[in-house]
Structures are given as structure tokens and as C-alpha cells.
Amino acid sequence: MKKIKLTLAVFQAATALVFLTTHLAFAQTPEKRGEYLARAGDCISCHTAPGGQPFAGGLKMNTPFGYLLTPNITPDVKTGIGSWSKDEFFRAIHDGVNKKDQDMYPAMPFTSYAKVSREDVDAIYDYLRTVKPVANEISINHLAFPFNIRTSMFFWRELFFSPGFFKPDSSQSASWNRGAYLVEGLGHCSECHSPRNVMGAIEQSKAFTGALVDGWFALNLTSNLRTGLGSWSAGDIANYLKTGKYPGKTSALGPMEEVVHNSTSYLNDADLLAMGVYLKSLPANSSLNNVNKVIDKSTLEGARLYIDNCSGCHQSSGRGIQNVIPPLASNPAVLAPNGSNVVKVIIRGIGSRNGYIPMPSFASRLSDEEIAQLSNYVRGSWGNAAAPNVTEAMVKHIRANPGI
């Protein structure tokens, strides 16, 4: 009994230290604190167009109903938020209503940002007032009728939006609560990692179970052992968010690579660990359990293509070479329900990153049919049990659309 009490005391002291460390990191000017929080919210990724000025907007956001261009949030008075008051900025973040009193579209994740405290939103506002003003007029709305009419958002909000600040759970540790605040609020992780219904709202019963984002599969973040983070420790998750890699298992691809580069790699260790602690508490409620089809690993053509093109680097067992070439066996990017991640890597290659050597493109070497066969072979070998759902049509589409 004494040992249990001592262990509990140590745990409580450790979580208190995490909480204290986190808040000491914010003991600085409001602008610096706001910059940190803006990084946590990854504002720069969405509000910076390719080749554009930071926060000047213009990034194309595709939706099933058309596309939107992200607004300019630099302090330019005419084209940015230079004329916005602190109250107007808070209303946009917390309530999803802009300066013109118009309902905002949920491509801006106000459904998650609503959980962020007024103090933190004000700090972000103070920071954005210090960035370089950029004159960049943005025509935001390019949605198809009737979705281009903002009043249509009234019904969406009634059905799917309930504003309210994050409320700590007194039964959980300080670290868990900090992680929940970051994951559910500023980090808005569920916005990308959750499937959506026909109205574009998150399917709450499947939150965090993975979803397609711009043709890439945002992975399952629940504790599902096969397709999620069940075998990861909180420390593994924290290290992945800091570095973009899980040595010997996987590395960040597509939009997640950008999130690590622009956001999570800047967060302090206490916050990253807190996010790991919270994510580890998510139940293994995977929507992917019904697609556990195993392909025939003896398929001669897939095996031949792998041996001829891949085995020299990724090894015959798909294990790769530690810290040099990532493994394919048990790699979450390979196991994703949709095989587009694998197809894109084969077609486009990958530059050197996180210590791994570059991988060349095989677009000119392999046909669409061969890429489909190879992708399905990789997804069903060495214990991988992903569905063999890569088709020649999918490969052709990805090859013809380099922007997705």
C-alpha cells in the first residue's frame, strides 16, 4: 500500500511539473506567447499560398462543394485584418463569424478553435499584429451554388456547431488536460483525422479514425493496435510530432509533413508529451476494421515488380534499413485504408528528410497497371493486411494530377 501511495505521489508530482513547465514557457511577452500559440494552431500553413508571403492567404482549400481561398490575416488594413478589433478577431475564431457578420465556412476549423480560451485567442491576435503587413486582396468564395450563399451555413451551424470553451476534466492529470486542450482545440487534429458526412461535418462516432485529406490519408489516431497508435507510447507520439519520424516504423508524409515542419516541431517537449498522453487515451474506435481484406501475397507479378524495383533498398522482408531507408512492413502510411500514399511516393519519389536518403520517382519506369500491382503487393505483404484497393484508374488519376 505504501508503494502504491508513493507511486501515485510521484505521478502527481510529475504531472504537476509538466503543467508548470508548460506555463513557464509562456512567461514572456504577449507577442511571443501568441507566436507560440499560432504555431500550435498551424495558422501559417493554411494562410500562406505556395510561394506567397507568410499569413497573406491565397491557399486553395478543396471541398466536395468547390474550393475556397484562405484569407489574408496579416495586419494590412485594406486586405488583411489590420482594421479588425480584438473582439472581432475573437468572434471569428470562437464563433465562426467574420467582421462582415457573415457565417464562416468550416474549412476554417472554428468548430475546434471554439475550445480555445479568450486569453490565448487574444495572444494570437497580438502576435499577428506584429507580422509584416501584405497587401493581398483575396476572393475567398469559389463554392458551387447553393453553397456559395453564406446563409446556407445557418442550417449547417444549427446541426453541427455548438460553441463552448474547453472544460478540464478534474479526474484526469494536468498533462492529459493540457494535451486534450491542444489536440481538440488549437491543434484541431480531428479536423483532418476524422471522416466527414455528406454535409461536410465530422462523423463524431468515428472521430480520429482517419480520413482522406487532399488525396493523402490522415492516419488513425486512436489506440487501435493494427491501424492506430495502440503500439505507440506517449513518448513515441511526442517524438514523431517533434521530428516527423518514428525510427524503424514510419515518417510523416504529405500534409502531415507540413504540419510537423510548420507547427508541432516548434512546440515544447512538455506540450508534445501532453498531446501524446491524451491521444493514447482515445478508444480504439476504428472505422477501418471492416476493410481487413488480405491480398494474395503469392501474386507473381506484384512480387516480381517488388524484387526488381524495391527490394534492393527496402529489403526482401520490407524492413528497410534503420535510419537510412524507412520500412514498408507495419508502416502506417502503407497500411492506410486508401492506397494513395503509396502510389504518390512511387510516382513522385521523396526527397531526403529526417536522415533518410532520397527515393527516386518510378513514374517513367512503371506503367499505371504495374504501379497498382506493386502497391497492392506492398500493402499485403510481411504481415501488412491493408485492402488491395489500388486500381489502375487511381494511379492514372494521381499521375495526371500532380497537385493532389
Find where cell 506503367 sits: 367
Is 23 known as a binding-site position? Answer: no
Find where cell 467574420 sits: 98
Q: How far is residue 309 from each of residues 306, 361, 399, measured CA to CA in Å?
A: 5, 11, 19
What are the b/e assignments for 148-182, b being 16+ CB within 10 Å? eeeeebeebbeebbeeeebeeeeebbbbbbbbbbb
Q: How far is residue 83 from each of residues 8, 89, 124, 136, 137, measured CA to CA in Å?
A: 52, 10, 16, 14, 14
C-alpha 287/C-alpha 266 separation (Å) is 31
Is 310 known as a binding-site position? Answer: yes
Is 94 known as a binding-site position? Answer: no
The sheet with strand 60-63 has its strands ordered as: 60-63, 66-69, 141-143
Is 142 known as a binding-site position? Answer: no
Is 314 known as a binding-site position? Answer: yes
Nine cell digits for residue 222: 486512436
| Closest to 262 in 3D by CA, of 95, 108, 43 | 43
Is 193 known as a binding-site position? Answer: yes
Is 43 known as a binding-site position? Answer: yes
Cα–Cα–Cα angle for 278, 110, 403, rounded to 5 degrees: 90
- Residue 371 contacts residue 347 (beta carbons within 8 Å): yes
Is 397 known as a binding-site position? Answer: no
Is 46 known as a binding-site position? Answer: yes
Feature table: binding site? 43, 46-47, 189, 192-193, 310, 313-314
Feature table: binding site for heme c? 43, 46-47, 189, 192-193, 310, 313-314
